[in-house]
Structure 1
Amino acid sequence: MEEKAFQPLGIAILTASDTRTAATDKSGDAAAELLREAGHHIVARAIVADDLQALRAQMQAWIDDPQVDVVVSTGGTGLTGRDVCPEAMAPLVSKPIPGFGELFRYLSYQEIGTSTIQSRAEAAICSGTIFFLLPGSTGAVRTGVSQIILAQLDIRHRPCNLHELLPRIRGES
């Protein structure tokens, strides 16, 4: 069987934070760096306050943008009142990907022990766009991106990957 060539995806990076700026967004920088080094295109990036409606509006804008195949979000997945990324995404979800959160917490447990229960990391398909919601710590972002997301966004990854499903998810084939 002939191996497929790498195919870059258009990725948007969303940082949910009331305090981070472009100069201090180390988690967003880490996600962008890892994805760019793998060969993907960072087509958009935003820092949005921890506000449910503002986050949902940004998510919807990227769902509507044909250049954005994947959104990687950092922050807003904890347990405080201001952590609202899962709630912002919830009404936009077409199909949840529960295995992502399960695997992320398993890997995270090996690094931070039982503190991983405080993470509501998750993934979903939202009208043909893949979303990954990661905690805001740089370590969590590196774990999620390097140990899960990169393989699933690489069309060459076997036995299967999310990239090769995109045309069928979008009803294109």
Structure 2
Amino acid sequence: MTERGFIPVRIALLTVSDTRGPEEDRSGDLLAGRIHAAGHHLAARAILRDDRAAIAAQLRAWCEDPQIDVAISTGGTGLTGRDVTVEAHRDVYEKEIDAFATVFTIVSMQKIGTSAVQSRATGGVACGTYLFALPGSSGACRDAWDEILERQLDYRHAPCNFVEILPRLDEHMRRK
């Protein structure tokens, strides 16, 4: 079998927080560092407050940008009243990647036990763009990247990965 070459993807990063600014964005910084270390491009980065409409609007804008392949958010996936990131993501999704939440829970269980039930990490697809909502803790972001996203966003990962089907995510929108 011929060895595949690496294909970098363009990733937008959104931190959702009512309390963190650029100086305190440890989870965003961790993800940005891992994106660069993996050889991908950080195409955009933003911080928004916990506002469902604003989060959904930012995700839609990134989905419509042909220079962005993946959008990852961190924060707002918990159970409190102001945690609305998951709802904002689902407002945008055309298809949900149900197994992402399941695999994230399995990974989290190995690290934090039954406390993993408190996360609502999610993934989906819209307009040919992958979207992932990760918890706001740097440990959860590290786990999601190191155990799931780094591999699935690497074209060399076998037997399959997100990158190899990226060109076909929007095939339903093309003219026949």
Same fold, TM-score > 0.5, yes or no: yes
Paired residue for 1:4? 4
Q: Tell me if the contact between 1:14 and 1:46 (Cα under 8 Å) persists in the aligned partners.
A: yes
RMSD between superposed Cα atoms in Å? 0.9
Give the match's secondary structure for 1:71: strand
Regions of 4+ moved over 2 Å:
none
Give the whole-Å Cα distance in 1 for the aligned partners of 2:111 and 2:4: 34
Q: Tell me if the contact between 1:16 and 1:50 (Cα under 8 Å) persists in the aligned partners.
A: yes
Give the match's secondary structure for 1:18: coil
User: Structure 1: 5+ residue runs without aligned partners?
Assistant: none
| Structure 1 position 86, deviation (Å) | 1.1
TM superposition score normalised by structure 1? 0.97
Q: Tell me if the contact between 1:10 and 1:67 (Cα under 8 Å) persists in the aligned partners.
A: yes
Q: Tell me if the contact between 1:74 and 1:134 (Cα under 8 Å) persists in the aligned partners.
A: yes
Give the whole-Å Cα distance in 2 for the aligned partners of 1:22 and 1:157: 33
| Structure 1 position 170, deviation (Å) | 2.2
User: Structure 2: 5+ residue runs without aligned partners?
Assistant: none
TM superposition score normalised by structure 2? 0.95
Give the match's secondary structure for 2:43: strand
Q: Tell me if the contact between 1:92 and 1:127 (Cα under 8 Å) persists in the aligned partners.
A: no
User: Residue 141 in 1 paired to residue 141 in 2?
Assistant: yes
| Structure 1 position 108, deviation (Å) | 0.4
Give the whole-Å Cα distance in 2 for the aligned partners of 1:6 and 1:102: 27
- The letter for the 2-side match of 1:127 is C
Give the % identical residues. 51
Q: How many residues align?
A: 172
Give the match's secondary structure for 1:160: coil
Give the match's secondary structure for 2:156: coil
